[in-house]
Every structure is written in structure tokens, then in C-alpha cells.
Amino acid sequence: MPKKTKTPPHRRVNSNVMTRQEIIRVNKQLAEMRNEVRKIDVAGAKHAAKMRAIPKEVFIY
């Protein structure tokens, strides 16, 4: 495989194709966001469990 050189600006096609590194970076960010949401969900579930006086074991993930 010949090394792909960077396309000069006047030849570049306006594409929304991302490089592999960018995709990986975005995926990591998304994963982190999902983890944050999950933490919030768990905290909310535990809080709800306390409020309803239900055994907390049900809500431990």
C-alpha cells in the first residue's frame, strides 16, 4: 500500500468521513457520557428506593 499523502486543499472533497482516530475519540466521549448517565441512573434508583422504603438490594447493578 502506498502511503496516502494529504490531499491538497484545492483537491479536497467536502466529505464528512472521519479518520479512525477521530472516530475512536468520539466513541470514547460517547462511552464516557453513557457511563455518567448510568451513574446518575443508579444514584436516582437508590434514592428512589430509599424514598419508597424498598430494600436497596433490588437497585444494586
pLDDT tens-digit profile of 2-15? 666 766 665 555 55
Q: What is the mean pLDDT of residues 17-34?
A: 81
Q: Within a domain: residue 15?
A: no
Beta-carbon contacts of residue 36 (< 8 Å; ≥ 6 apart): none
Q: Within a domain: residue 4?
A: no
Is the pLDDT at 57 greater than 80? The verdict is no
The three grid cell numbers given for residue 30, joined into one nine-digit string? 460517547
Q: What is the residue range of 39's domain?
A: 20-59
Rg of the chain over CA atoms, in angstroms?
A: 23
Q: Within a domain: residue 47?
A: yes
Which of the two residues, 13 and 38, has the higher pLDDT score? 38
* Total tally of structural domains belonging to the chain: 1
3-state secondary structure string across the chain: CCCCCCCCCCCCCCCCCCCHHHHHHHHHHHHHHHHHHHHHHHHHHHHHHHHHCCCHHHHCC
Q: Within a domain: residue 27?
A: yes
Q: How confident is the model at residue 1 (pLDDT cuts 50, 70, 90)?
A: low
**What is the model's pLDDT at position 25?**
85
